[in-house]
Amino acid sequence: MISTYHYKPHFYFTLVFVSTFLLWFAGAYLSFTPAGRDVYMVPLLGGLIAPFVIAVSLIFTSGNSALKKDALNRIFNPALIRVKMLPILVLLMPLAVLLSISISLFLGGSASQFKLAEGFSFSTGFVPVLLLLLLAATFEELGWRGYAFDSLQSRYTVFKATIIFSILWSLWHLPLMLVKDSYQYEILRQNVWYAVNFYLGIIPLGVIVSWICLKNSKSILAAILFHFIINIANEMFDITQMTKSIETGVLAIISVVIIVMDKKLFFSVAHLSERTVS
């Protein structure tokens, strides 16, 4: 967050939601048409990249050299990632998944969930699933961490900014449940509550990713790496949707523990007294 720049959160989020939703609704329609099956991923990728494009546009047309320099440093400087945070960054999500599977065993879940999955749980047209998982982690964090979170933090405490951010991030994914063969579409067909769980689960993840990013000097590289590990960890094992519901509870507990243990970070108002908010 740059104190000499007046962020425009309302403008940013309005542009992001309007542009993404238009593109994703178009992709959803095409995914159900015979002719569109070959091209529906094009507008979907456009919607995925939209937050990044809008963030870059706002940053590099701002006329604020400190904002531009900070953005480039956070994207390209690996030295921002703290060595002592690496174990948490790399292992937290896989361990959360394994813990969720273990808990599920006491509720009748199968031990076969510990086996590595034979394939991905959804399809993505002409784009390989693994590549899409990497693109999603990269462009979401470049946009949402590159501008969105800072714009909220310029007006609120980290705690309030994180909660607002996490809810908006969850809502941003809503149109994907209308895209044929997407992960969200598939779980909605199984059970509406599985879809509800997906969107609820994004909220504690938003808290954790925000914390990871802040604890690594706001490194966007750290956020991208952690986000990609989230995606891979949830596709690596052959876990059921019931276990993923347990996982949401596990992540919620982890996020609460993080907030309680790092209250100074989450509830400080020092950064608000250092700037005049437009």
Catalytic residues: 140, 173
Cβ(77)–Cβ(220) below 8 Å: no
- Report how far residue 27's alpha carbon sits from residue 40's, in angstroms, rounded to the nearest whole number: 5
Q: How far is the CA of 43 from the CAs of 20, 55, 142, in angstroms? A: 9, 19, 19
